[in-house]
Amino acid sequence: MNKTIYDVAREAGVSMATVSRVLNGTAVVKDETKAKVQAAIEKLGYRPNAVARGLASKRTKSIGVILPDVSDLFHAEVLRGIEDIATMYQYHIILTNSDAREDREVDLIGTMWEKQVDGLLFISEQITPKIVKTFEEAQLPVVLCATEDPEHRIPSVAIDNKQAGLDATNYFLNLGSDKIVFLGGPTSQPVTMKRLAGYEQALKDAGREFDSNYVLHAKDSHYRSGYEVSNAFLNEGFTADAVVATSDELVLGYLNAVRDRGGKAPDDVLLLSFENTRLTTIVRPELTTIAQPTYDLGAVAMRLLTKLLNEVSIEEYTVRLPHSILERTSTKR
Amino acid sequence: MNKTIYDVAREAGVSMATVSRVLNGTAVVKDETKAKVQAAIEKLGYRPNAVARGLASKRTKSIGVILPDVSDLFHAEVLRGIEDIATMYQYHIILTNSDAREDREVDLIGTMWEKQVDGLLFISEQITPKIVKTFEEAQLPVVLCATEDPEHRIPSVAIDNKQAGLDATNYFLNLGSDKIVFLGGPTSQPVTMKRLAGYEQALKDAGREFDSNYVLHAKDSHYRSGYEVSNAFLNEGFTADAVVATSDELVLGYLNAVRDRGGKAPDDVLLLSFENTRLTTIVRPELTTIAQPTYDLGAVAMRLLTKLLNEVSIEEYTVRLPHSILERTSTKR
DNA sequence: TTGAAAGCGCTAACAG
DNA sequence: CTGTTAGCGCTTTCAA
């Protein structure tokens, strides 16, 4: 399998430049010679060496994906969207986990440069000035995916998180809920803060009082953290009739904390979360969610990146994907 | 950032070969010159071009991962294990989804060769002769991960699935269960068949009768398929007091089919599954599982691959990771 | 429509 | 301990 373009050229009785041309379609080749070359390729089982190609052409057809953690279901689903579109455009994915640590992220952007990726898809919790600076130094086309950059310095694909927070809260207000818990990640997460802003706005619009006791910040978006912070909340004697949570796992943390106390959903508390991962239909009650188009977030981001790479004119660098509320049993009494 | 090794050499007043040496530590360099070179690297913000490196050295420090679907939680967790160890050894991951389709897999192995990956980590449902042939043609070091090759032609890391099936079934027999359902993927999956063999063995050892009505094959390992096949089973009027399922999602399918009929677990049926993804502790009841060391499956496979790549002597090409039963509430009455 | 030749940025002999 | 010199396998001018 270690044939080179020279072997093919010799076999076909043409020059290697011609082989390169039929391989890439970069120039017109007479049908007859093209056929000869293709026959030679077939016969030898030749495959072009992508590394040599990358060095000569300065385009590797690979794109780097930096995300906090693939084993997080939300990221994994986004990644699947990225990968499908990448495959469609003949790009390969180089994947790395950052654990959302800025130092790792900076480092990874650098090694992505070394790998000569054509572009970068970046998923994280926050875009710090240092990250922006690193992007600039690396001179790589970047698209943020499901990631908020409040200053919109970088092309991005996400939903309108403030509006989504508002919609979620209004949904409960319309249902007549009185005490609505907001359960999110840490205050350092712009995504959480945007949704919280929507929550506050909705309460304000409805003339309701904002009670900070009802805003819960878990230390991350995972089940365990949601469970812990919910437990603490309930232990203090607070109760709520509805919960808006920023991730599917977080809301399940709340649910199980309630269950530990003999409570049930939706009977005792209505639940709504944000991600719409497959968890939502696997668990009981099935979870009402703000349906983020998880797969599409990745797919659209990848598509935007291909446009940047091919210098196709782009109408909008900050893409907002629509969200909607999917009503399931966790909010049906 | 597009400096070359020549720029560094000029800046440091040495030859490019010397720069290469300090970069790779491939030969002794006088401390003094080394310091000069490092200063120049620092000053210019130089980063080596991994593509050029790969072409010249014929080693790309990247390894290909081919798996059915990243958005499947089990695969995602395995992948995280792979990635962490890869990072530790300075390898990068090129990730692709095959949807477990043989034609895609064959194709992907080819493009992985084009990318000149140093090795391959392969996760799939079955290893067909065609796949083995493709591995051979590609002449790439391969390690199978959480994947059964009944003939052990290829290095692999997995648990002992037959033994695990046996243990799971015995667990229920000891609990006094009478009718035990085996709920697996399609019969084409060696993993399912191995576990089923263990199930049958356990029944036989206990002098129990084997009833094929109690063996359910879902069309894949996902929740939906588990739900469907369980529904069909229950609709026919069958009942069971215990279920051994080959994936966490499958068992939840059974659980919800039971719930739809007003049943509960563990009250009406005991449940056990195989993967031990994070689902097991998120849902209620928490699921008793055969704890596959999901993360370790990936981590150990990657480690084995690095050994192959560095021609370190290897004791065992077929690594069996230990499994155990984690008892949770789904089997506690 | 085709071929010759010059790199792409680096590693790895081979000298010295 | 360091420099010179071939390539690695391809793309891409430039001519013809």
Q: What is the pLDDT of residues B73-103, one digit of tens each?
A: 999 999 999 999 999 999 999 999 999 999 9
Please state, rounded to an integer, the average pLDDT across all residues of chain B: 94
Q: Say yes or no for a CB contact (<8 Å) between A249 and B116.
A: no
Nearest to A181 by CA among A225, A224, A245: A245
Structure tokens at A213: 């006791």
Between strands B180-184 and B215-217, the pairing is parallel
Which residues make up the interface with nucleic strand D when CB must lie under 7 A? A 2, 4-6, 16-17, 20-21, 23-24, 26, 48-49, 52-53, 55-57; B 13-18, 21, 27-30, 32-34, 52, 55-56, 58
Q: Say yes or no for a CB contact (<8 Å) between B92 and A94.
A: yes
Q: Exposed (0-12), middle (13-18) or buried (19+): which is A116, by Cβ within 10 Å?
A: buried
Nearest to B167 by CA among B125, B205, B207, B208: B205
Point out the residue nearest to C6 (C-alpha to C1'). Answer: A56
Return the pLDDT at B323: 95
Return the pLDDT at A114: 96
Predicted confidence pLDDT, tens digits, chain B (333 residues):
578 999 999 999 999 999 999 999 888 888 888 998 999 999 999 999 999 999 999 999 999 999 999 999 999 999 999 999 999 999 999 999 999 999 999 999 999 999 999 999 999 999 999 999 999 999 999 999 999 888 898 999 999 999 999 999 999 999 999 999 999 999 999 999 999 999 999 999 999 999 999 999 999 999 999 999 999 999 999 999 999 999 999 999 999 999 999 999 899 999 999 999 989 999 999 999 999 899 999 999 999 999 999 888 888 889 999 999 999 999 987
Q: Using CA atoms, how far apart are residues B186 and B176, in angstroms rounded to an integer?
A: 28
- Give how far Cα A177 sits from Cα of A116, A237, A269, Å: 53, 18, 9
Point out the residue nearest to C7 (C-alpha to C1'). Answer: A56
Beta-bridge mates of residue B320 = B158
Predicted confidence pLDDT, tens digits, chain A (333 residues):
578 999 999 999 999 999 999 999 888 888 889 999 999 999 999 999 999 999 999 999 999 999 999 999 999 999 999 999 999 999 999 999 999 999 999 999 999 999 999 999 999 999 999 999 999 999 999 999 999 888 888 999 999 999 999 999 999 999 999 999 999 999 999 999 999 999 999 999 999 999 999 999 999 999 999 999 999 999 999 999 999 999 999 999 999 999 999 999 899 999 999 999 989 999 999 999 998 899 999 999 999 999 999 888 788 889 999 999 999 999 987
Give, for A96, the enclosing helix (H) or strand (E).
Answer: strand A92-97
What is the SS3 string spanning A156-177?
A: EEEECHHHHHHHHHHHHHHCCC
Neighbouring residues of B234: CB distance < 8 A, sequence distance ≥ 6: B257, B258, B261
Q: Say yes or no for a CB contact (<8 Å) between A73 and B77.
A: no
Find the Å distance, CA of residue A52 to C1' of nucleotide C11: 14
Task: Supply angle C-alpha B11, B17, B23, rounded to 5.
Answer: 80
Find the Å distance, CA of residue B16 to C1' of nucleotide C15: 16
Q: Say yes or no for a CB contact (<8 Å) between B252 and A282.
A: yes
Find the Å distance, CA of residue A117 to C1' of nucleotide C6: 25
Q: Using CA atoms, how far apart are residues A189 and A193, in angstroms rounded to an integer?
A: 6
Return the pLDDT at A1: 54
DSSP string, B76-101: HHHHHHHHHHHHHTT-EEEEEE-TT-
Between strands A92-97 and A119-122, the pairing is unpaired
Return the pLDDT at B29: 84
Identify the three-state secondary structure at position B66: strand
Task: Supply angle C-alpha A295, A301, A304, rounded to 5.
Answer: 140
List b or e across B46-78, with b for residues whose CB sees 16 or more CB atoms inside 10 angstroms: bebbbbbbbbeeeebbbbbbbbbbbbbbbbbbb
Q: Which residue of A has its CA nearest to B280?
A: A283
- Give how far Cα B8 sits from Cα of A44, A285, B34, B37, B57, Å: 41, 62, 12, 7, 20
- φ and ψ at residue B4, rounded to 5 degrees: -115, 175
Return the pLDDT at B1: 54
- Give how far Cα A62 sits from Cα of A95, A104, A157, B94, Å: 10, 20, 20, 9
Handedness of CA A197, A200, A204, A210 (dihedral sign): negative
Q: Taking a C-beta distance cutoff of 8 angstroms, is the pair B20, B5 a contact?
A: yes
Q: Is the CB of A14 under 7 A from strand C?
A: yes
Nearest to B137 by CA among B125, B129, B126: B129
Q: Which nucleotides in chain D lie less than 7 Å from some protein C-beta?
A: 1-5, 7-13
CA dihedral B93, B99, B101, B107 (to 10 degrees): -30
Nearest to A131 by CA among A62, A221, A66: A66
Q: Tokens 């040599």 identify what position?
A: A52
**Residue contacts between A and B (CB atoms, under 8 Å):** 136
The radius of gyration of chain B's CA atoms, rounded to the nearest angstrom, is 25
